[in-house]
Amino acid sequence: MTQRGDVEAFEAAARLAVHRAGAILKQRWNAERRIERKSTAIDLVTEVDRACEQAILDVLTSSFPEHAILAEESGAHGTHEFLWLVDPLDGTTNFAHQYPQVSISVALARSGETILGMVYDPVREELFSARRGSGAHLNDRRLQVSTIADLDSSLLASGFPYDRRERADYYLAFFKGFMMRTQGVRRAGSAALDLCWVASGRVDGFWEWKLKPWDTAAGALIVEEAGGRMSDFEGGPFDIFGNQTLASNGTIHEQMIEVLRPLL
């Protein structure tokens, strides 16, 4: 069993890691960007992604050299019951265009269960965090999901996966389905922040296809610890390695599934 002192040490390291990465991001915000393409024309990476990731890995490996790490840019490092999941810059396309919706996400899983999550928005200086069983916080304030109970009164968030040019009509069908049933749908470009905004009640629900574990591990725990619900698109258990991410305040969850299920 993980002891309280262990979790506090894990949290302190994660906090230091995201703040160091955030300092790099803020320092480079107005600098010229060197942008490269990864798997597709719209899957970008910059030297800032790599610098932020290295800053995070330096903290984690010096603090817990035996732990495993799965990071977006450098992949898997080692094997261990403790696994850190690292997204050094969630919203790279936004960063490339100086669109101020970016975040840094760090989570820790033990034997497959996420026990700690931290998402830092360096633009707004907002740190979202959660420990399993101990609630979720924004800086020092306790988080709670919204109380909206009717999908027709809700505001949702979403995003599109990297194969959206090849499957545009399919993904847009989901967007249209919710557009017709809600007060609005927002597409801001950082899934980790979208999940945290569900947790903070800024939006009432979120869905997206084909996210990666480093995108969702921290945010999903923060949603759950804020009183929300995570699942796949049919209400099954949420899996950070799965293709379907559905988050909500809980009260509109089944209504969101009713929209999603016929479109699958």
Residues 117 and 221 in one domain: no
Assess contact for 225 and 132: CB atoms under 8 A.
yes
Residues 165 and 239 in one domain: yes
Place of tokens 């759950």: 224
Q: Greatest CA span in the chain, whole angstroms?
A: 50
Residues 167 and 257 in one domain: yes
Residues 132 and 169 in one domain: no
Bridge-partner residues for 76, per DSSP? 70
Measured distance CA(120)–CA(104) in Å, rounded: 5
CATH number, position 76: 3.30.540.10
Residues 70 and 135 in one domain: yes
Give the model's pLDDT for residue 32. 81
Q: Quick one: which of 224, 218, 209, 213 has its CA closest to 260?
A: 209
Residues 34 and 132 in one domain: yes
CATH number, position 251: 3.40.190.80
Sign, CA torsion 16/123/138/159: negative
Residues 161 and 254 in one domain: yes
Of 142, 163, 184, the domain-final residue: 142
For residue 56, count CB atoms less than 10 angstroms from its CB and return exposed for 0-12, middle for 13-18, buried for 19 or more.
Answer: buried
Residues 6+ apart with CB under 8 A from 21: 52, 53, 55, 56, 88, 89, 104, 120
For residue range 50-106, list pLDDT tens digits in order: 999 999 999 999 999 999 999 999 999 999 999 999 999 999 999 999 999 999 999
Of 142, 176, 207, the domain-final residue: 142
Measured distance CA(104)–CA(19) in Å, rounded: 9
Of 111, 142, 173, the domain-final residue: 142
CA 107 to chain centre: 10
Give the model's pLDDT for residue 41. 59
Measured distance CA(224)–CA(115) in Å, rounded: 11
For residue range 134-192, list pLDDT tens digits in order: 999 999 999 999 999 999 999 999 999 989 889 999 999 999 999 999 999 999 999 99
User: For the chain, how many helices (H) and strands (E)?
Assistant: 7, 15
Q: What is the mean pLDDT of the chain?
A: 95
Residues 84 and 208 in one domain: no
Residues 104 and 184 in one domain: no
DSSP letter (8 states) at residue 240: T
pTM of the entire structure? 0.95
Measured distance CA(177)–CA(44) in Å, rounded: 29
Give the model's pLDDT for residue 42. 53
For residue range 215-231, list pLDDT tens digits in order: 999 999 999 999 999 99
Residues 10 and 135 in one domain: yes
Place of tokens 């690292």: 86
pLDDT score of 113 more than 70: yes
Range of the domain at 252: 151-263
Place of tokens 């230091």: 16
Assess contact for 60 and 17: CB atoms under 8 A.
yes
Residues 6+ apart with CB under 8 A from 1: none
Residues 59 and 116 in one domain: yes
Token digits of residue 52: 């932020």
> Based on the structure, what is the number of domains in the chain?
2
Residues 133 and 229 in one domain: no
Bridge-partner residues for 261, per DSSP? none
